[in-house]
Amino acid sequence: MADVVDFAPTNPGLFQKVLLRAGIVYSAITVIPFVPSFYQQDFDAGFSVKGYPYRWLDVISQNNPWFFASDGGKNYAGWFITLLVCLVGGVIWALVEKQIYKDQNALTQNDADSRLYNWFFVLVRYQIALRMSWFAIAKVFPVQMPFPTLSQLNTNLGDFTPGKLYWLTTGVSPFFEVFAGIFELIATVLILFRRTATLGALMMIAILLPIWFVNIGYDAGVELASLHLLFLSLALLVKDADIFYNILIRHRQAAISYIPFAGNAGKWKRIARTALKTAFIFLFILYRGYHYEQLYAAGKTFKLPLDNGIKSYTGFYDVSEFRVNNKSLPYSPGDTIRWQNVVFEKFNTISIKVAKPFKLNTQNKIRTTEYYGNVGRLFYGYEADTLKHVFTLKNRADTTDKTVFNYTIPSPGKFIIKGLNPQKDSLYIVLTKVEKQYPLAIKRNTNVHD
């Protein structure tokens, strides 16, 4: 059986004391949201908590530190400043503590250090599990990177950013996404238990290192978030650095340690620890996992609008006729006014391909929207009054842009749309449905039915 080795050195020096205390400060301030904007945000707009109360767990899992979202998810200067502030805090804490314990013996001070090592170990493990549990579950039931929508399948390859393209290509292969999620989930569960935390940390490093490099290479938006979790996973292995060196480099026999509970825990403390861990696993893994499975089974994802569209309207439509103020505009690939094609999604989105200039939006705060990381199409949420035959379109990117159209369906698969654009020009548009086959979708459907 492996030896149980105390995490805290017998006589830690001032440098080790400072690092430990700085690590505790860092672990605490990066999991507790101190930024006022976190509490001021519209939680329902960002997480749909009214219709899906379990999404409050996602709010907690994704309460990112201030430096995560700024500068496109790669605010390294902010991260280094945070580390420096934590280091200064560790120095002050260690010096103040030294004055407090100056008249006490070394054994008392070592006991205090052991308790702090234990708290550091707990904070790091649970922060990793808190954040990674969401990523894992959202891949096991593949809703994090969903299969490309009809609009995305009809967007030119060159109109995507590398980051958006990476997400779409991952979504094309649910098998790979599920496999990655299972691997992440196993590592998350292992890291929650002291005896398996080292194995969980090693798995996390194997997971997070390529994720960090992918985010650097594709500019995928969570570069610093993945580095932060990688940093915490490495911190869990610091206690065994000498042991790994002996095993891997010197090829000597050595025992991997685990961190026992500090002090003599009473019965009620053991019960409380067990109850809290059980509650964490139940809420953040089992309960949330069940609801994400239900979400996936319903064909929905929080990365896309949740409201259903009209099923019979879903599809790709060619704009066979387009009139402005009763003047017909023939098709021209460079026309900035004429619509080229229209897509009705299975959810309540209409997207319109038009050759007008687009401003690329890659802000992290809109990463879960359809218009993030791509150009070439306008995205509108729509409401359809099927009795009065009225479409109400609201621009997904600009909520002040609202347009109302009347429509008729002269024959199945054909729309005639009339109304005024924001410039008050009258529009007359004929949409003709085109049945298109997508090799990506055919392959996916074949795999699903097999």
Query: Residue 97 above 60 pLDDT?
Result: yes
HSE (side-chain half, CA atoms, 13 Å) at 308: 5
Question: Distances from the Cα of 283 to the Cαs of 52, 156, 277, 398, in angstroms?
Answer: 14, 41, 10, 36
- Identity at 40, one-letter amino acid code: Q
Three-state DSSP class for residue 124: helix
Which residue has 């809290």 as its token pair?
Answer: 276
Two tokens at 46?
A: 């960002």
* Four-point Cα dihedral 200, 201, 204, 205, nearest 10: -150
Query: Residue 2 above 70 pLDDT?
Result: no
Burial class (CB in 10 A: 0-12, 13-18, 19+), 256: middle
Q: Nearest-5° angle of CA 338, CA 344, CA 347?
A: 140
Spatial distance between the Cα atoms of 370 and 368, rounded to a whole number of angstroms: 7
Q: By the 8 A CB rule, do 361 and 397 touch? A: yes
Interval 183-193 mean pLDDT? 97
Query: Residue 398 above 80 pLDDT?
Result: yes
Question: Distances from the Cα of 175 to the Cαs of 153, 179, 204, 223, 441, in angstroms?
Answer: 20, 6, 20, 24, 14
pLDDT score of 263: 57
Burial class (CB in 10 A: 0-12, 13-18, 19+), 432: middle
Q: By the 8 A CB rule, do 338 and 47 touch? A: no
Positive or negative, the Cα torsion across 285, 290, 293, 299? negative
Residue 39 confidence class, pLDDT cut points 50, 70, 90: confident
Q: By the 8 A CB rule, do 384 and 391 touch? A: yes
Q: Which of 350, 310, 356 is nearest to 337 (CA)?
A: 356
Question: Distances from the Cα of 104 to the Cαs of 108, 117, 267, in angstroms?
Answer: 7, 20, 29
Which residues are CB-neighbours of 233 under 8 A, at least 6 positions away? 128, 201, 204, 205, 208
Which residue has 């996916």 as its token pair?
Answer: 444
Which residues are CB-neighbours of 182 under 8 A, at least 6 positions away? 136, 140
Burial 22-32 (b: 16+ CB within 10 A, else e): bbbbbbebbbe
Spatial distance between the Cα atoms of 273 and 192, rounded to a whole number of angstroms: 12
Three-state DSSP class for residue 252: coil
pLDDT score of 105: 60
Q: Which residues on neighbouring strands pair with residue 327, listed in sequence order?
A: 324
Interval 407-427 mean pLDDT? 94
Q: Nearest-5° angle of CA 16, CA 93, CA 28?
A: 85
Spatial distance between the Cα atoms of 44 and 395, rounded to a whole number of angstroms: 19
pLDDT score of 413: 93
Spatial distance between the Cα atoms of 139 and 151, rounded to a whole number of angstroms: 22
What pLDDT, in 10s, does the model give residues 294-321? 999 999 998 899 999 999 999 999 999 9
Q: By the 8 A CB rule, do 378 and 358 touch? A: no
Query: Residue 6 above 60 pLDDT?
Result: no
pLDDT score of 447: 54
pLDDT score of 449: 45
Two tokens at 312?
A: 């019979």
Q: By the 8 A CB rule, do 181 and 137 touch? A: yes
Query: Residue 443 above 70 pLDDT?
Result: no
Check: pTM over 0.85? Answer yes or no.
yes
Interval 85-98 mean pLDDT? 92
Spatial distance between the Cα atoms of 228 and 135, rounded to a whole number of angstroms: 15
Residue 206 confidence class, pLDDT cut points 50, 70, 90: very high
HSE (side-chain half, CA atoms, 13 Å) at 321: 13
Looking at mean pLDDT, say which of 65-74, 265-274, 332-341 comes out highest: 332-341
Alpha helices in 64-161 (DSSP H): 66-69, 76-100, 106-140, 150-153
